[in-house]
Structure 1
Amino acid sequence: MVLFVPNLEKQSLPENNVRKAFWSPLISLTIENQNKHFSIARHQSSIRLVMTTLTSWNIKDIRTILESGQFNTEFYTTTYPETQATGLDPIIHYVLFGCHEQKNPNELFNTEIYKNLFNAVIQKEENPFAHYLRNNKSTYFFEKGLLQSYSHKILTKCYNKFENYAFFSEDYYRKIHPTLTFSGISPTRHALLYGIGEGRDVLYPYNIAQYFGRECKKPTTYTPNTTSIVGNLPQTVGVFYHSAGNSFIHELAELLQDYLKKAGLSAQLMTEKTPLSDKPDLCIFCAPHEFFFLEGCEHWKQEHILEQAIMFNTEQPQTLWFTRGLIYCLMSAGVIDICVQNLQAFANIGLTVFHFDPIPTIQKARLKPADKKHPFFRVLPDAAQSGSTPLKPLAERAIDVSFFGNSSANREKFFARQAAFFSDYACFLYYRKADGPLTTQGQYDILARLPRYVAENSKILLNVHRDDNHFFEWHRIVSQGMASGAVVVTEECFPHPLYKVGEHYMVESSRHIPNLIEWLLNTPDGEKESRRIQKNAFRIFANTSLRQVKNHDLLCYISSVWTAIL
């Protein structure tokens, strides 16, 4: 027997409204007439009734699931497309067949896990999901993938943030990994629970480019926090960096600690070797992509620590390093980022954010005695070997152009194309293929100190992006270049709240950078412009009131995070 019910198209009303309006009388009818049992099946533009057998348990379970509103039809039919050919409504199919085939009613509930855990108390004909809704709906039941040590509660919080994260696209993840099968798990949940940990491509380059394109069009100006009364503050703050990590991260950790102390907080530098017994009230983990992946940090990966901590991100979203640190950002109470344009993406998913890019101090670079015996030092011009100072006039600097960085296809192409041009100038150009973090120990430890020393002897510090993305490592370039008295010449880059193009640094396309360099070095107008740029940069670095205001900004941010934790 088939009854057609016209004008109840799926598209005409929200699905739950259609179901509730239609199912309530149907269930009542079924209960009143125990000899007739019906189920819903879609037929083109109408809904039809198909005769089948529904037991009293089936009816009870259907009502429970329907009233909960937690059955995700789109998930069910997309994940299990074969169910659409049965002609049965997805809820009916799940109650009668899907639960026995280990199918899941939504992304948050795993039928197999629940059945295994509660098999002894689930009635013989009772649907596992309906049992869950009646007895355990405050508990989460889904697989944890590679994140077994974390609770369902915190992983659900991460999921709710991740599914709305601007840089993720479920369609892209499915497309880029065609060999993956998403049986019982959505691409979003797979990316979170497996993809990140497996080192897969997770974030969609188009979304990233589109997002930063919009952000870079917005006015980028520094606006101080005008809050006069600061709320709750932690008694102790620990700024963590990994002892075997990049020297650049160590430097940032020291600067952040200094800012916190000047803001009036009790802040200490800590590493992965710090025992848990010395845990501070508030933990700030610098470079989570590095800290939590190098050896010795396992005791700091505990859930109660992470969800009450701040992550200081120093990576750009286009990199694998950023992706693998993302899970810790999602777990955290707040995110500090060195790139101001990156903040809004985190803020949009509910994280408290802060831009930290410390104003450098004008001070002389310090080398170790052994550095002066290193080949890198011995190839410098005699005038550069004799000493350095940020205040050395540009005309007296022995090096015309300097550059430090890791190798990339973009940089290789640039230097190969411009080799003849640079051969006419006194240059120190260093770029290498990275084989790990640039640490303060080992054969490359001099690179933690030499770039700034060389910049103090250079007229121009060159910045060529590592790839095609215009992410500008502001702190490194500003610290090594502007604060060393060199004129920074860079490819087009993301704007900064404080440093402005044409005022504090110079921008040109890679094709025309040689023309700009030639003008700055060889013409009276160019030399005059170089001195103006240098003077403008020094004016910011010498602004003590600006430093105090930025200390207050940081204090207000720490207070907002700490108050939320409490």
Structure 2
Amino acid sequence: MSADGAAPPLRQARAAKRLARLPIFTERDYLIANPDVAQAGIDAVTHALQNGAAEGRTLFSETALARAYGRAGRRGTAAERAGGSHGCDAARAGHRCAILVHSLSDEAYRETAQDLAADLSGLGFDVTMADETADPWGDHGTAIVVAPNDFFSLGLGQLWAEPSIVGDMLVVMDDPVESIEGGRCLRPLLNARGAIELSAVGADLWAEADIPTFRLLPKVRVRDRWLEAADLGHPLMLAAPERAREAECHPLDWSRRPLDLLFFARESSRRNAALGRLAGSLAPHRCFVYAQQGIVSKAEERLHRGAHWRISGHLSTQARLTLHLSEGRFPALERRRIVVQAMAGGSAVVSTARFADPGLEPGSHYFHEDAKHIGPLIDWLILDPDGRRAAERVRDRAFDRIAAVNRDRTRLAGLGAFLVDRGGPEGRMP
């Protein structure tokens, strides 16, 4: 960092160049979406980097986002195109990695960090876990930030967002690229050494922006228990059918499930409208429908979302079907809710969106139907013997895919070399 605290010019230029190459960003679209910036005569790239992303402004045009989702997964990322070698065992042995996750991040992100730590330890890395209270200027080996939307925007984590620090780090991306949360971490991402991306859409986009990117297929935990003792008295659990309140869960026991359908997600105007249209279709069935409203503070959010995460995971093991309604206009795969909870919990997923993920096929791993026809589909899956058999087949294929990914060592192919090549003080960028 320079003496006056500004980012070094080379780092500023790198971030600006990457943003300009990002397929979903154009200066014209940004100025149309933010007319006050255009009226002030401010450069679009500079404003987006310095102010726009942090302020939660509209960064990307809907047309560009739709195009990105439409072509997701048709090409491999730069790391995958390079061949995905396993790297040198000698180089990995003893190579230090620090996995950083904010102390206020929710349990889902913390599990992602823990699972990544286990994967890297299995590859021979010396792995430690830390949070935002660690020394940003310390020598952490390869520093990897999980949930950068939380980490770089809350409390002491903001110190780590300095380009001179984040430029030597890798970030793990797991949020839809168009989300406000993703926007908050755009500047650190553009300054970072590279990205480990869990979605096909993001992996393609970051690679096209010349950000070194590794597409990781993460493990998914299959559990026999989600709940903590305190969760049993939570109002949401008390609202569930009595047979769904057992602490133990049986992920593959379809016939004993007390719920026909589960919907558990954040509310949005699009979701509220869809649920209103579906109310008549859902009424005859045993449904648990919860649309979570906004939370006031991050500390309150963690308190609520911790319990909500465990309860929604548990209820996924109690429901035959899980309903997915897109939060916005784009078919983002909510991996934690759909894969980690519903599919791993043995619930067949019914979605109004075709997921932009090449590993999940509609009709094979989940049901995809237009919103106006989803009511009759739900009736068929619940009431008709052929429909129930179809639901069980889809449920089984999705669960088998999770099991196959968990067993597959090749999913980590190239990750060791990716980290060694891009991490640690020996390869610091200017």
The structure 2 residue matched to 1:404, chosen from 261, 264, 271, is 264
- Unaligned 5+ segments in structure 1 are 1-139, 141-146
Q: Is the 8 A contact 1:440 1:448 kept in 2?
A: no
C-alpha distance 562-148 of structure 1, shift in aligned 2 (>3 A)? closer
Provide the secondary structure at the position in 2 that maps to 1:310. Answer: strand
Q: Is the 8 A contact 2:87 2:414 kept in 1?
A: no
Output the CA distance in 2 between the equivalents of 1:385 and 1:490: 26
The structure 1 residue matched to 2:15, chosen from 144, 158, 168, is 158
Output the CA distance in 1 between the equivalents of 2:351 and 2:137: 46
Paired positions, count: 419
Counterpart for residue 505 of structure 1: 366
For residues 110-189 of structure 1, the aligned pairs below 5 Å read 149-180=6-37, 186-189=43-46
Greater mean deviation of Cα atoms: 157-166 or 491-500: 491-500
Q: Is the 8 A contact 2:99 2:113 kept in 1?
A: yes
C-alpha distance 362-324 of structure 1, shift in aligned 2 (>3 A)? closer
1:414 equivalent in alignment to 2:271:
no
Q: Residue 26 of structure 2 aligns to which amino acid in structure 1?
A: S
**CA RMSD between the two structures:** 2.8
Output the CA distance in 1 between the equivalents of 2:305 and 2:46: 41
The structure 2 residue matched to 1:275, chosen from 106, 118, 135, is 135
Counterpart for residue 59 of structure 2: 202
Output the CA distance in 2 between the equivalents of 1:172 and 1:529: 44
Higher RCO, 1 or 2 (CA under 8 Å, sep at least 6)? Answer: 2
Output the CA distance in 2 between the equivalents of 1:148 and 1:202: 26
C-alpha distance 212-445 of structure 1, shift in aligned 2 (>3 A)? closer
Output the CA distance in 1 between the equivalents of 2:11 and 2:406: 41
Report the Cα offset of residue 426 of structure 1: 1.0
Alignment deviations for residues 269-288 of structure 1 (CA, whole Å, 9 cap, x no partner): 21112234764201111222
Report the Cα offset of residue 315 of structure 1: 2.2
Q: Is the 8 A contact 2:105 2:302 kept in 1?
A: no
Output the CA distance in 1 between the equivalents of 2:274 and 2:420: 46
Counterpart for residue 522 of structure 1: 383
Counterpart for residue 192 of structure 2: 332
Alignment deviations for residues 413-437 of structure 1 (CA, whole Å, 9 cap, x no partner): 0111111221211111111222255
Greater mean deviation of Cα atoms: 207-216 or 227-236: 227-236
The structure 2 residue matched to 1:241, chosen from 101, 117, 142, is 101
1:347 equivalent in alignment to 2:204:
no
> TM-score, normalization: structure 2?
0.88
Provide the secondary structure at the position in 2 that maps to 1:418. Answer: helix
Q: Is the 8 A contact 2:37 2:44 kept in 1?
A: no
Larger gyration radius, structure 1 or structure 2: 1
Output the CA distance in 2 between the equivalents of 1:262 and 1:467: 38
Output the CA distance in 2 between the equivalents of 1:475 and 1:228: 27
Output the CA distance in 1 between the equivalents of 2:12 and 2:310: 41
Output the CA distance in 1 between the equivalents of 2:193 and 2:324: 34
1:426 equivalent in alignment to 2:286:
yes
C-alpha distance 511-235 of structure 1, shift in aligned 2 (>3 A)? same
Q: Residue 467 of structure 1 aligns to which amino acid in structure 2?
A: G
Among the aligned pairs, what percent are the same residue?
A: 22
Q: Is the 8 A contact 1:438 1:445 kept in 2?
A: no
The structure 1 residue matched to 2:120, chosen from 260, 271, 282, is 260
Output the CA distance in 2 between the equivalents of 1:474 and 1:321: 15
Counterpart for residue 323 of structure 2: 462
Q: Residue 111 of structure 2 aligns to which amino acid in structure 1?
A: E
Report the Cα offset of residue 495 of structure 1: 3.5
> TM-score, normalization: structure 1?
0.68
Counterpart for residue 230 of structure 1: 88
C-alpha distance 172-284 of structure 1, shift in aligned 2 (>3 A)? same
C-alpha distance 543-526 of structure 1, shift in aligned 2 (>3 A)? same
Q: Is the 8 A contact 1:244 1:439 kept in 2?
A: no
C-alpha distance 186-550 of structure 1, shift in aligned 2 (>3 A)? same
Counterpart for residue 37 of structure 1: none
Q: Residue 517 of structure 1 aligns to which amino acid in structure 2?
A: I
